Amino acid sequence: MTNNKNYQKTLFTFTGWFVSLLLFFPIFWMIHTSFKTELDAFSMPPSFFFFDATLENYGIVQERSNYFHFSMNSVILSFGSTFLGLLIAIPAALAMAFRPSKRTRGTLLWILSTKMMPPVGVLVPLYLIFRDFKLLDTRIGLTLVLMMINLPIIVWMLYTYFKEVPHPLLEAARLDGANLWQEIRHVLVPITFGGIASTFLLSVIFAWNEAFWTLNLTASDAAPLTAFIASYSSPEGLFWAKLSAASTMAVAPILMFGWFSQRQLVQGMTFGAVK
Amino acid sequence: MDTTTSSRAIPQKSLADHFEDWLPKLVISPTFLAAIFFVYGYIIWTAWLSLTKSRMLPKYDIEGFFQYGKLWTNDRWLVALTNLGIYGTLFIGICLGIGLLIAILLDQRIRAEGALRTIYLYPMALSFIVTGTAWKWILNPGLGLEKLVREMGFENFTFGWLTDSDMAIYTVVIAGVWQSAGFVIALFLSGLRGVDDSIIKAAQVDGASLPRIYWSIIIPSLRPVFFSTLMILGHIAIKSFDLIMALTGGGPGYATDVPATFMYTYTFTRNQIGFGSASAMVMLGGVLAIVIPYLYSELRKPR
């Protein structure tokens, strides 16, 4: 009986790892190929261990299309839009969590509903406005758009975190004579810091990955890494090693971010339905 | 009428109190207005444009619904709709199936589950552009999978879906499932963890078998997870633009066009703003048909 159970458990573990291998393989393959020469990248059967690891692809990519320009844009856009979004969303989420009214839930759902609309529905007017105000291919314009895109998620996540703060705690602080600022500074922030940090992380990841708007509203000056990869994706696929290097550089920050924010990722992508 | 300083039996609200009342509304309104105007306002604008003869420059004389009429006689649009149907159904169906199955396997408390879960989530943390690019290579007949299998000795192996206009849409399904399946697994897994242990124990005491417990108790209790997963996958499917752009570019020809890429092509590369807007409005109608019942049920749900 115990033997059978052990056997079963090993089988399940094996299946689990097999699936993870399938899921991770393309990512692994991409990183792996980025260290090969173009010639090795095509050699069949693929050499897993015996190849001359090279960094030349990274050098060529940087030389050809100035990776740092694009990554700088990615950093500015994703962090800028996130800071801006938090600035607007934190007071709003606080108000909804601590001064709820009959309409709070409705308001929140309306805000969230915008996230479900397909972006093509708002693309044309936005494009026209950007064209008239000379905002196309500017960092400011794109930062504002990315902020708007992520605002519903930011508000929703912050709201769910703030709502969990026990009210008696705040009342106790108030009874002890704390004013609003002290209440925020010494009670609220320490408790919700983790929540705000996760929201921040998630918003950065989303903004980083955003491709629809960056492809449509930028050309080169404000183009982030998603546009950079798209520009590398030649139809012949002859530069696979270089393309891999470019993709690896584009996703590396996210892979690291993702490791620290797995829970928040699920929570954010499900609009807080799953904790 | 100095109400703040005069002492009365019924205290009036002070200025500060009024401010406190208004403050919440004041701080919520930017978000609310931004979200509503930014999306719904622009949707109305798009709707207006869809009724005009706008080409490269917007015109605002309403001409009626002729753009919509044109849409339904456009072969490319019908292909795009069919593709969305195929892609949406298969993508959602396969993701749900795989997600539930693997989640149940993982729920048996296997070793190193945390690390596995993170790996499962990784694809979802990547941009669809990266996914599309990676799979474009893997599925390329001359470079990826086909070449690999042939080199292994199966000379007649062919896997040319990417360049076959009848099959290309299924490559989009493969890439889409790869990206989202792990996420669905994670969703179901946390749903499974939320199932009340005592009910399961009671069923075990009553002598129910494990498959039976899953079928009659656990899976039905996952209904809310099913529902929200369906919503999320549905809206990923409808919004899928970047994946298709990176993987097939809508090709070969326009064999893998979906409404989003169709709209993009007509609005920006063919400069038919009015026509593109009409197609966007039809898409919106489709989304609303999904979202409105959802919002309605959520609003009615007592908390």
Contact A124 B135 (CB under 8 A): no
Q: What are A70's two structure tokens?
A: 């694009």
Residue B55 lies in a domain: no
Contact A121 B42 (CB under 8 A): yes
Q: What are the distances in angstroms from CA B266 to CA B68, B220, B241, B286, B303?
A: 14, 45, 14, 19, 45
Alpha-carbon gap, residue A89 to A156, rounded angstroms: 9
Whether B42 contacts chain A with CB within 8 A: yes
Residue A195 lies in a domain: yes
Does residue A1 carry a pLDDT above 70? Answer: no
Angle made by CA atoms B285, B288, B290, in degrees to the nearest 5: 120
Does residue A204 carry a pLDDT above 80? Answer: yes
Does residue A141 carry a pLDDT above 70? Answer: yes
Range of the domain at B129: 77-257
Residue B1: predicted pLDDT: 44
- Residue A211, φ and ψ in degrees, nearest 5: -120, -35
Chains A, B: CB pairs < 8 Å:
266
- Of the candidates B125, B129, B299, the beta carbon closest to that of A258 is on B125
Residue B301: predicted pLDDT: 62
Whether B33 contacts chain A with CB within 8 A: no
Residue A60 lies in a domain: no
Residues of chain A contacting B231 with CB distance shorter than 8 Å: 116
Residues of chain B contacting A180 with CB distance shorter than 8 Å: none
Alpha-carbon gap, residue B103 to A16, rounded angstroms: 9
**Position A19, amino acid:** V
Which of A71, A274, A275 to mutate: most B Cβ within 10 Å?
Answer: A274
Whether B154 contacts chain A with CB within 8 A: no
Contacts of A73 (CB under 8 A, 6+ apart): A139, A222, A223, A224, A225
Alpha-carbon gap, residue A270 to A225, rounded angstroms: 25
ipTM: 0.74
Instruction: Give the residue on A whose Cα is nearest the Cα of B163.
Output: A235
Tell which residue, B260, B280, B290, B282, has the closest CA to residue B83.
B260
Residue B95 lies in a domain: yes
Residue B68 lies in a domain: no
Mean pLDDT computed over B241-261: 81
Residue A21 lies in a domain: no
Residue A272: predicted pLDDT: 53
- Of the candidates B129, B134, B148, the beta carbon closest to that of A26 is on B134
DSSP three-state, residue A242? helix
Residue A228 lies in a domain: yes
Q: Angle of helix B113-125 relative to helix A240-260, nearest 10 degrees?
A: 120
Count how many Cα atoms sit within 13 Å of the Cα of residue A268 in the half-sphere of its side chain.
Answer: 29
Does residue B239 carry a pLDDT above 70? Answer: yes
Contact B42 A212 (CB under 8 A): no
Residue B35 lies in a domain: no
Q: What are B296's two structure tokens?
A: 């309605």
Range of the domain at A82: 67-269
Alpha-carbon gap, residue B141 to B161, rounded angstroms: 8
Residue B194: predicted pLDDT: 75
Question: Which pLDDT band, with edges at 50, 70 and 90, does A218 fall under?
Answer: confident
Question: Which pLDDT band, with edges at 50, 70 and 90, does A52 fall under?
Answer: low
Instruction: Say if residue A45 is preceded by a cis peptide, omega within 30 of 0.
Output: yes
Residue B111: predicted pLDDT: 66
Residue B2: predicted pLDDT: 45
Contact B27 A12 (CB under 8 A): no
Question: Percentage of residues in chain A with pLDDT exceeding 70?
Answer: 83
CATH of the domain at B251: 1.10.3720.10
Q: What are the distances in angstroms from CA A57 to CA A62, A66, A252, B64, B266?
A: 9, 13, 15, 55, 37
Question: Which pLDDT band, with edges at 50, 70 and 90, does A84 fall under?
Answer: very high
Question: Which pLDDT band, with edges at 50, 70 and 90, does B14 fall under?
Answer: low
Q: How many domains does chain B have?
A: 1
Residue B222 lies in a domain: yes
Whether B35 contacts chain A with CB within 8 A: yes
Residues of chain B contacting A94 with CB distance shorter than 8 Å: 27
pTM for the model stands at 0.79
Instruction: Give the residue on A whose Cα is nearest the Cα of B192.
Output: A274
Q: Which residue has the higher pLDDT, A45 or A19?
A: A19
Tell which residue, A4, A180, A157, A40, has the closest CA to residue A93.
A157
Residue B81: predicted pLDDT: 86
Residue A140 lies in a domain: yes
Instruction: Give the residue on B whose Cα is nearest the Cα of A12.
Output: B105
Residue B7: predicted pLDDT: 44
Question: What integer best gives the mean pLDDT of chain A?
Answer: 78
Contact A8 B235 (CB under 8 A): no
Q: How many domains does chain A have?
A: 1
* End-to-end Cα distance, chain B: 43
Instruction: Give the residue on B whose Cα is nearest the Cα of A252.
Output: B126
Contacts of B83 (CB under 8 A, 6+ apart): B169, B255, B256, B257, B258
In chain B, the largest separation of any two C-alpha atoms, in whole Å, equals 97
Instruction: Say if residue B252 is preceded by a cis peptide, omega within 30 of 0.
Output: yes
Residue B237 lies in a domain: yes
B window 232-291, beta carbon within 8 A of A: 232, 235, 238-239, 241-242, 245-246, 249, 259-260, 263-264, 267-268, 273, 276-277, 280-281, 283-284, 287, 290-291
Least confident of A227-231, B12-16, B122-126: B12-16
Residue B115 lies in a domain: yes
Instruction: Give the residue on B whose Cα is nearest the Cα of A273.
Output: B228
Burial class (CB in 10 A: 0-12, 13-18, 19+), B2: exposed
Q: What are A66's two structure tokens?
A: 């100035």
Residue A47: predicted pLDDT: 58
CATH of the domain at A96: 1.10.3720.10
Which of B59, B129, B192 to mutate: most A Cβ within 10 Å?
Answer: B129
Q: Which residue has the tokens 């705000």?
A: A196
Residue A229 lies in a domain: yes
Alpha-helical (H) ranges within B4-74 are 15-35, 42-50, 66-72
Residues of chain B contacting A215 with CB distance shorter than 8 Å: 242, 245
Least confident of A71-85, A189-203, A233-247: A233-247
